[in-house]
Amino acid sequence: MSQPHQPVLYQEIIGALTEARPRRIVDLTVGAGGHAWGFLEAAPGARLLGLDVDPQALALAAARLAEYGQRAILVRASYTTLAQQLAALGWEAADALLLDLGASSMQFDTPERGFSFVHDAPLDMRFDPENPLSAAEIVNEWPEDDIADILREYGEERHARRIAQAIVRERPLRTTGELAGLAARALRAPRHGRRIHPATRTFQALRIAVNDELAAIQQVLPQMLAALAPGGRMAVIAFHSLEDRLVKQFLRMHSQSGPQGEPPALTLLNRKPLEASEDEAQANPRARSAKLRMAEKYH
């Protein structure tokens, strides 16, 4: 099966989540269907529910998983509606859950989506094209203080105020190239000699704000725990420290005994996050920043 986009930590995830022969699997961010295809191959008796808000991704996933017929159920919906989607199917629980956070390589590689400054394109950054908020609106309409706050909080950008001031001074900004150039000028540092492009943190912050990503993670993690069958497993891939911190704190909290000695809800399958091998990172640069955490629900 050809893979248009390489799923991250593929072997580790498919191996761990199909070890107990799951019957019901949910890929909460199905994307182009790379992990989903692996699940259906490795668990012949399983059915899979794939969720995504991106219609472009769902079209690719539908084509990729067509050979599995009714075993693959694809729904255009946010992963924050997990409980609702399971109820609609009549699934009381799932045996395996995967949440792959952040933007996909497909989204980065589609210039008109505005996720990347590699190509000059309209400032967009929406996972869901029907989302009323775009990066252009934030950049061109939000107050300087609010822009600085999201650059500092979501981008961990030390020079958030300087960049926010430059944005307000030079707007309107319509394209990714204009914004990337502004960030480079604001930081007064050419790209040469820098580990990352000077606009990287700004673009990350805007994407997180546009899609309200951190709030969505906080909404879905309790739903994942509630949806998981006893003995079932969940896996979460995070791509930056803010995401990974939320996942780590949630899993750690629920892997500890309760105040009255109640057994923990989860058993951690890896206390430290799994990371891509050097070979995978070279073949798929996006995998370099991936951190995978997995847990099993207490029997």
Q: What is the CATH number of the domain that holds 56?
A: 3.40.50.150
Asked if 47 and 179 sit in the same domain, the reply is no
Q: Which residue has the tokens 């609010």?
A: 146
Asked if 93 and 152 sit in the same domain, the reply is no
Parent domain of 75? 10-100+213-297
Contacts (Cβ under 8 Å, ≥6 apart) of 117: 176, 177, 179, 180, 197, 199, 203
- Determine contact, residues 33/65, Cβ cutoff 8 Å: yes
Q: What percent of the chain has pLDDT over 70?
A: 92
On whether residue 258 sits in a domain, the answer given is yes
On whether residue 108 sits in a domain, the answer given is no
Give residue-wise pLDDT tens across range 204-254. 999 999 999 999 999 999 999 999 999 999 999 999 999 999 999 999 999
Give residue-wise pLDDT tens across range 95-113. 999 999 976 666 666 666 7
On whether residue 40 sits in a domain, the answer given is yes
Asked if 93 and 223 sit in the same domain, the reply is yes
Name the pairing type of β-strands 266-268 and 291-297: antiparallel
Q: Is the pTM value of this prediction over 0.85?
A: yes
- Determine contact, residues 286/105, Cβ cutoff 8 Å: yes
Would you state the pLDDT for residue 108?
64
Considering Cα of 279, then 64, then 128, then 26, what sign does the dihedral take?
Answer: negative
Give the sheet arrangement for strand 24-27, strand by strand. 72-76, 47-52, 24-27, 94-100, 228-238, 291-297, 266-268
For the chain, the domain total comes to 2
Asked if 93 and 219 sit in the same domain, the reply is yes
Q: Report the distance separating Cα 202 and Cα 184, nearest Å.
A: 10
